[in-house]
Amino acid sequence: MGSKIGSCQKRRKPISGLSGQTEAVNITYAQVRSCPTGNRYCQEDKMIMKNGVNALTALAVLVGLTVPAIAQERKKVPDFSYSEGVKRGDCKIAFRSTDGVTMVDFGLGIMDSVFSVEVLRNGWDIVDDKDPDTRDMPLTLTFQNGQTTSSELGGYRNGFYQGVWGLWHGKDSNPVLSQRGLESLMEATSATVSFDDEDIAEVNLGPKGFAANKLLDCAIAEREKRSQ
């Protein structure tokens, strides 16, 4: 289950013992800090996040969030399991909910930087008698630190798996909405997913920054491949 999270450079420092002591990411924007003495993974760096709506494009969303981490902290993290990959033009990381059945699937568009979430289960009656063309039911994430973020679009997914989905911005929307969703995920270690005023899943996300960094690393790598 070992993986990697963000460090002060593009190179990643391996996490050891994800179910116990872990190295977690602490992203700080618009600040300059010095890394701990002797930490060869860190160097002083200037973090600047520009959120100007007029200047923001889908590319800027992705680039703006790939700031290096400048501090690390030791945390006890609950056990969690995840899978990752690329699907339909999105980088994906999926976590199993605490109920052991439901999957919470986070996504980041490789070219359009759309932040998305799907909550899926096999044989879920949440979709019974629901219109699969619905797009106006937002999905909300509430994180362990009290932060919340809601999708601009949302609806029902019915197929081999059933569930709900949310997109943080659409084709004609401002990509800053996806940026803010991903910023919230960067600070998260767990989340509760709610839809239609009901909590439908609780999920452990690993160390702070783990899920968001996975999505960003994947999107950067995939863009580089496609630009060759």
What does the block give as tokens for 89? 């033009």
What does the block give as tokens for 173? 């929307």
pLDDT on residue 179: 96
Task: Compute the average pLDDT of residues 208-227.
Answer: 96
Range of lowest pLDDT (44-58, 61-75, 76-90, 202-216): 44-58
Range of lowest pLDDT (19-28, 91-100, 129-138, 177-186): 19-28
The answer to whether the beta carbons of residues 51 and 60 sit under 8 Å apart is: no
Nearest to 11 by CA among 40, 34, 33: 40
Between CA 206 and CA 213 the distance in angstroms is: 11
Instruction: Place 228 in a pLDDT band, splitting at 50, 70 and 90.
Output: confident
> Is residue 6 helix, strand or coil?
coil
Between CA 27 and CA 1 the distance in angstroms is: 23
Between CA 212 and CA 217 the distance in angstroms is: 9
Between CA 31 and CA 45 the distance in angstroms is: 9
- Residue 89 to residues 85, 107, 117, 143, 192, Cα–Cα distance (Å): 10, 10, 14, 26, 26
The answer to whether the beta carbons of residues 24 and 5 sit under 8 Å apart is: yes
Nearest to 113 by CA among 49, 166, 185, 177: 177
Between CA 54 and CA 61 the distance in angstroms is: 12
Phi, psi angle pair for 215, to nearest 5°: -65, -45
Residue 136 per-residue DSSP state: B
β-strand 13-14 against 4-5: which pairing, if any? antiparallel
Share above pLDDT 70 across residues of the chain, in percent, rounded to a whole number? 66
139-151 pLDDT, tens digit each: 999 999 999 999 9
Instruction: Place 62 in a pLDDT band, splitting at 50, 70 and 90.
Output: low
Between CA 40 and CA 72 the distance in angstroms is: 13
113-158 pLDDT, tens digit each: 999 999 999 999 999 999 999 999 999 999 999 999 999 999 999 9
Instruction: Place 60 in a pLDDT band, splitting at 50, 70 and 90.
Output: very low
Between CA 180 and CA 148 the distance in angstroms is: 10
